[in-house]
A and B are shown apart, each in its own frame.
Chain A
């Protein structure tokens, strides 16, 4: 797969777009022929599309999101960036149903219950310290009844994230990166169609971060879920995402495609150029 994945069945381009001059913005990309999600992995349920329409979210007198519009097609990898406190986590909490919008609608293109098809990963791994690693992964397997079946499934999920040999350990003895991988395995356990990631790599050291980014990309390519990654690291956003969205003043201030082929080479001039453009917009934007 050489191009950024976008589904053909999508509706209008994202509203609030104001980045006409960007060299990487390709409005025509939407009509490009695409691999069907099925090409990624036969049995996998594909990602689900979702749309925020005029979503407002206020906490008491404080409005965090002012009528936010965002459409994300099935299977897309979106990165959400923005200054601290701008409402990125709020966006994910609305998406995963942890909070309800004050006004506006949020549609998810699926008939299944939202709680069953969305999963979220936080900056903290949120593992149960009193459960072994495999049992922590099994928390995500609530749809399975049989204990042995559950354990076997947990082991295979751990293998996916490269931790099969740590199944019997307590979370306390793992490193930060390993704990996040366990959390990822748990989040993937129920085969979510939308995976929300709230700065999951924010607390990791640089090398572990890059390792985790590659793992994440590999699993996303294989499973085809829709990924929404909140990050404060623009380099991470352009390295992983099909599309980078900047939230500012409670709305989308910038929406840019990243049409670079995968696997992307970290430190390549194209990535650096795109990163520079986004950073310029981010820092130069009027406060």
Chain B
């Protein structure tokens, strides 16, 4: 079998099981094996998607959720990145803040939800705060770790060749820390969706989580399942985007070399 053909077949093989599951699910639902109050048929979910698309509601909710995710991520990620850089480079900064941050890290951020509701009510700030806090730590920890583990021999080499501090940072330290920063980025993206799902489910007046909770009240199980699927899809999308970035920035990395 030729290599491209084999790759196509192997790639296709991964899809056989999901397709079978879907067909089985549809059949079982149609035959009444799965009561519609437990799980709707895939075709019903598709119909719900169509209805919400026509009414435009779905775009509104996805838009609100994506906005919260991105803004929260930008705030938490930027602070985490900046502090990670500062503490990676400066011993004084590290001594001053790292212990405190490591202590705060032990508090699960979702445990703060009651407190956050007291502080912010159920406004946007509450959700942005939770997402930012959740995203902060993986970015901070991995940026710090990346910078602290840059090969000291390379740093010495940079000094020997007369690099200024700025050059040393831009040409040696930051690129050396990048693989670790990307690990943090992908991890943070996962936390970002997770936090948002929980926050929107508990308290919101718009967004995907709100849509799901509303649907639950009216027993629209197809819409509940639909919103779960959309969450999964958005999570996958964010991860793929991060992978794409990783590929673009780490072309030099042995893991991304064509064999």
Binding site for B on A (CB under 8 A): 96, 98, 115-116, 119-120, 122, 124, 126, 128-131, 139-140, 142, 170-173, 186
Report B173-187 CB contacts with A as 1/0, cut-off 8 Å: 001101000000000
Q: Does B162 contact A (CB under 8 A)?
A: yes
Selected A-B contacts with CB under 8 Å, 8 pairs:
A116-B162, A126-B157, A128-B171, A128-B172, A129-B252, A130-B252, A131-B171, A170-B252
Q: Does B153 contact A (CB under 8 A)?
A: yes
Contact A142 B252 (CB under 8 A): no
If the complex has contacts A122-B153, A128-B175, A129-B252, are A170 and B257 also in contact, measured as CB distance less than 8 A? Answer: yes
> Looking at the complex, which one of A98, A120, A124, A172 makes contact with B257 (CB distance below 8 Å)?
A172
Bound CA–CA A173/B252 (angstroms): 9
Distance in angstroms from A29 CB to nearest chain B CB is 34
Give the chain B neighbours of A115 by CB distance below 8 A: 160, 162
For A140, the closest partner residue in chain B by CB is: B161
Contact B161 A139 (CB under 8 A): yes
**Residues of B208-259 contacting chain A, CB below 8 A:** 250-254, 257
Interface of B is mostly: helix
If the complex has contacts A98-B156, A128-B172, A170-B252, are A142 and B257 also in contact, measured as CB distance less than 8 A? Answer: no
Q: Does B64 contact A (CB under 8 A)?
A: no
Give the chain A neighbours of B158 by CB distance below 8 A: 139
Give the chain A neighbours of B160 by CB distance below 8 A: 96, 98, 115, 119-120
Give the chain B neighbours of A96 by CB distance below 8 A: 160
Give the chain A neighbours of B162 by CB distance below 8 A: 115-116, 142
For A129, the closest partner residue in chain B by CB is: B252
Give the chain B neighbours of A120 by CB distance below 8 A: 160
Bound CA–CA A225/B156 (angstroms): 23
If the complex has contacts A140-B161, A173-B257, are A126 and B153 also in contact, measured as CB distance less than 8 A? Answer: yes
Distance in angstroms from B52 CB to nearest chain A CB is 46
If the complex has contacts A122-B153, A124-B153, are A129 and B253 also in contact, measured as CB distance less than 8 A? Answer: yes
| 16 new A-B contacts at CB < 8 Å, known A122-B153, A128-B154, A128-B171 | A98-B160, A126-B153, A126-B156, A129-B252, A129-B254, A130-B176, A130-B178, A131-B171, A139-B163, A139-B171, A142-B163, A170-B257, A171-B252, A172-B253, A172-B254, A173-B257
Give the chain B neighbours of A98 by CB distance below 8 A: 156, 160
Q: What are the 8 tightest A-B residue pairs by CB atom distance, in nearest-first order?
A: A130-B175, A126-B157, A130-B252, A172-B254, A170-B252, A142-B162, A139-B161, A126-B153
Contact B253 A142 (CB under 8 A): no
Most chain A Cβ neighbours within 10 Å, of B251, B252, B257: B252
Bound CA–CA A139/B154 (angstroms): 12
Bound CA–CA A171/B251 (angstroms): 12
Give the chain A neighbours of B251 by CB distance below 8 A: 170
Bound CA–CA A172/B158 (angstroms): 19
Give the chain A neighbours of B171 by CB distance below 8 A: 128, 131, 139
Distance in angstroms from A101 CB to nearest chain B CB is 18
Give the chain B neighbours of A116 by CB distance below 8 A: 162
Give the chain A neighbours of B250 by CB distance below 8 A: 130
Give the chain A neighbours of B175 by CB distance below 8 A: 128, 130
Most chain A Cβ neighbours within 10 Å, of B156, B157, B162, B163: B157
Bound CA–CA A241/B161 (angstroms): 26
Contact B161 A172 (CB under 8 A): no
Bound CA–CA A172/B179 (angstroms): 15
Distance in angstroms from A134 CB to nearest chain B CB is 13
Bound CA–CA A270/B259 (angstroms): 47
> Looking at the complex, which one of A122, A129, A142 makes contact with B161 (CB distance below 8 Å)?
A142
Bound CA–CA A130/B163 (angstroms): 16
Bound CA–CA A96/B159 (angstroms): 12
For B154, the closest partner residue in chain A by CB is: A126
Bound CA–CA A173/B154 (angstroms): 18
Bound CA–CA A98/B153 (angstroms): 12
For B163, the closest partner residue in chain A by CB is: A142
Most chain B Cβ neighbours within 10 Å, of A129, A131, A171, A186: A129
For B157, the closest partner residue in chain A by CB is: A126
Bound CA–CA A89/B45 (angstroms): 70
Give the chain A neighbours of B172 by CB distance below 8 A: 128
Give the chain A neighbours of B257 by CB distance below 8 A: 170, 172-173
Most chain B Cβ neighbours within 10 Å, of A120, A126, A140, A142: A126
Give the chain B neighbours of A142 by CB distance below 8 A: 161-163
